[in-house]
Homo-oligomer: A and B are copies of this chain.
Amino acid sequence: MSKLTLEKIAELSGVSRSTVSRVVRNHESVSPNVRKRVLGVIEETGYQPNAAARSLAGQRANVIGLVIAEPAQSLFTDPYFPLLIQGVTQATNDYDQTLTLFLFHNHSDEEKLSPRIIRNQLVDGLIVSGTHVDDPLVPQLIESNIPFVLVGRHEDPRVSFIDVDNVTGAQSAVNYLIRLGYKRIGAIAGDLKNRGAIDRLDGYKRALRSRGHRVDETLIINGDYTEFSGFQAMNQLIEQEVDAVFVSSDGMALGALRALSENGCSVPHDIAMVSFDDIPAAMHAKPPLTTVRQAVRRTGAMAVETLLDILESGATPPRRLALPTELIVRSSCGGTGG
C-alpha cells in the first residue's frame, strides 16, 4: 500500500486536493455531499494528515511544548510534576494537540535545548514550569516572542501565567494554627529559589503579623522540598521549643513527622503541624496531615487552555491567573477548627 496523502484522497474522492484539505480542516465552503463523500474515503483509508507538512505549510503545528526546568531531583521525590503532566496531557488530548516534553536535567541541557526550542518552530507555544525566580529562561522567552504560559507567577507584566495562590493558602494554614491557640509557630520553608516557596513563607509571615505576632527568624528553617530536608529542619526546630510548625510541603512534613517521632514528640499533642499540597500520602500519615490543597492537575489543564487561547487570539493582554487553595483539616493540629 502506497503512502496516503491528500492527493491520494482527492483522487479517490474525485475532487481536488484543496477540497480535501478543506474537509479535513472543517472549513466552510464545501457542499454537504462532497464533504460526506470525502469523509467516507478518509474513514475507509484511515488517512491522517502529515504533521510535518502541515506545520511547514501552515502556521500552526498543533504541538505544544512543556518545559520542566527543575533539575530532576524533585521530579520523582514529589508528585507535583507527575500531576502537572497529567493535567497538561489531559488537556492536550482533549484539544487535539500533541505534547512535546523538554526536561532539563542540568544547566547544560538548558543551554543546549533552549535555543532549539525557541527557534526550531517545533512547537506553537510553551508551558514553562520549574523555573527559578530570575531564571534567565523567562526573559529569553519573552525576547524570542514565542507564546508561552508560565506555571507560577512572575513579576514581569508581559508574562502570562497560571499560579496557585500560595500566599493566601499559607496564610490560611497559619491563621488556623493561631486560632487554635498556638503561640510559638515555627516554619520549614521550601527551596527559596522557587517563587512558590517564597510565597508560602511570605503567607506564614503575613498571618503572624496580621494577628499581632512577631516573626522570629530563628523559628524559620530552610529546606529544599525533600523528605530528608524536612527531617533535618524539624530536628533543628525541636530545640527552639515551638508548639506548632508550618511546613511548606507535605513531602517535607513527612520527614518532619519522622524526626518528631524519633524524638518521642507526639503530634499534635506536643507539636502541631500544618503543611501544604495535600499529596495522597498526607492522608495516610501519622497523624493524618492538615494541609493546604492545591489543584495541580487543574493548573496544568488551565495552562494548556490559556496557551491555546493566546495562540488563537494573540498574547495581549497577558493572562494572569491565581487558582485558589483549600485547607483540608485532618488531625495533625489537634482542634477541628475554631
Q: Counting CB contacts under 8 A, is A56 at the interface? A: yes
User: When the two chains form the complex, which single residue of B53, B85, B112 contacts A56, counting CB atoms closer than 8 Å?
Assistant: B53
CB contact under 8 A between A46 and B119, given known A86-B103, A99-B100, A101-B99: yes
Pick the interface stretch among A76-84, A156-164, A325-333.
Answer: A76-84
User: When the two chains form the complex, which single residue of B83, B227, B280 contacts A227, counting CB atoms closer than 8 Å?
Assistant: B280
Chain B residues contacting A81 (CB-CB under 8 Å) are: 82
List A residues 87-138 near B (Cβ within 8 Å): 89-90, 93, 98-103, 105, 109, 112-113, 115-116, 118-122
Q: Counting CB contacts under 8 A, is A16 at the interface? A: no
Chain B residues contacting A194 (CB-CB under 8 Å) are: none
B280 touches A52 (CB 8 A): no
Give bound CA distance, A77 to B280, whole Å: 8
Total interface residues on A, CB under 8 Å, equals 51
Chain B residues contacting A112 (CB-CB under 8 Å) are: 93
Q: Counting CB contacts under 8 A, is A142 at the interface? A: no
Chain B residues contacting A120 (CB-CB under 8 Å) are: 48-51
Q: Counting CB contacts under 8 A, is A153 at the interface? A: no
A101 touches B121 (CB 8 A): no
Chain B residues contacting A100 (CB-CB under 8 Å) are: 63, 98-101
0/1 string, A249-273, CB within 8 A of B gives 1: 0000001001000000000000000
B121 touches A51 (CB 8 A): yes
Chain B residues contacting A52 (CB-CB under 8 Å) are: 51-56, 61, 121-122
A218: min CB distance to chain B, Å = 27
Give bound CA distance, A139 to B90, whole Å: 25
Chain B residues contacting A50 (CB-CB under 8 Å) are: 56, 120-121
Could you list which residues of chain A lie within 8 angstroms of chain B, going by C-beta atoms? 4, 46-56, 61, 63, 66, 72, 75-77, 79, 81-83, 85-86, 89-90, 93, 98-103, 105, 109, 112-113, 115-116, 118-122, 227, 255, 258, 280-281, 284
